[in-house]
Amino acid sequence: MNPKKKKRYIFRTVVLSTLVLTLVAVLVVNAQKDNPALTEGDQAPNFKLDRLDTDGSIELEELKGKGVMINFWATYCEPCKKEMPYMDELYQEYEEKGIEIIAVSVDKNELVINNFYNRLDLSFPSVHDKSSVIMDLYQVVPLPTSYFVNPDGSIERIVKGPLTLDRLETYLQEIVPQS
C-alpha cells in the first residue's frame, strides 16, 4: 500500500471508530433513561424465586409488614463469602423482631450454592436468580449489594460492597417493624 492510501485508510478508520463509539454512547445513555436506577425511598420491585434451602418460594410482596434485607451474592465473590457469617449470626435475633434476610445467589450452578450454604450451615433463606432477571431488575452492581426494605416495601438503604457485623446490625435496626 502506498503511503497516501495508508494515511487515507487510517483517517477513515479513525472517523468510523469515532462514529461507532458515539452511537454506542448515545444508545447506552438512552437505555439508562428508560430504566432509572433504584434509589433509597423507591418501592422495592416485587419478585418471586424458588427457595434452595427448603421447598417453596419467596415472594417479596408476601413479606410486607416485615423488614427485609435482600442480599445479592455469589460463591465466586470473596467479599460476599465474608459477610455471610455476619448475616447468619444476626438472623436468629432479628427474625424474632420481624426481619427476614433473603440471600439471592446469582451463581449459575445450584450445586455450588448448596455446597457453600451447607458448608457454612447458614440458616437464612436462600434463593437462586438463575437468569439474573432479579439482579437486572434491582440493577445490582457490584457484588455484594444489599437492599434494606422497610415494612411498607420502600427501600430504606442500598449498600454496595461488603458489610461488617456492626454496619449490618445498624442497618437491620433501621428496618425493624414498629409494633
21 & 77 share domain: no
112 vs 124: CA distance, rounded Å: 17
* Cβ atoms of residues 146 and 163 within 8 Å: yes
The structural domain count of the chain equals 2
Q: Which residue segment(s) compose the domain that 64 sits in?
A: 42-175
24 & 48 share domain: no
158 & 85 share domain: yes
139 & 123 share domain: yes
Q: Give residue-wise pLDDT tens across range 105-122.
A: 999 999 999 999 999 999
103 & 151 share domain: yes
136 & 158 share domain: yes
84 & 133 share domain: yes
Sign of the torsion angle spanned by Cα atoms 104, 101, 35, 19 = negative
Q: Which amino acid, one-letter code, is at 76? A: Y
Q: Which residues pair with 147 in a beta bridge?
A: 70, 158
Q: Which amino acid, one-letter code, is at 37? A: A
Question: ∠ CA(72), CA(51), CA(108), 5° rounding?
Answer: 55
pLDDT computed for residue 84 by the predictor: 96
- CATH number, domain with residue 47: 3.40.30.10
Show the DSSP H helices in 35-146 as ranges.
Answer: 78-95, 110-120, 133-137
100 & 63 share domain: yes
Q: Give residue-wise pLDDT tens across range 67-110.
A: 999 999 999 999 999 999 999 999 999 999 999 999 999 999 99
* Cβ atoms of residues 171 and 150 within 8 Å: no
User: Position of cell 469515532?
Assistant: 18
Kindly indicate the confidence band of residue 32, based on its pLDDT and cuts at 50, 70 and 90.
Answer: low
2 & 61 share domain: no
88 & 117 share domain: yes
26 & 49 share domain: no
Q: Give residue-wise pLDDT tens across range 122-146.
A: 999 999 999 999 999 999 999 999 9
9 & 90 share domain: no
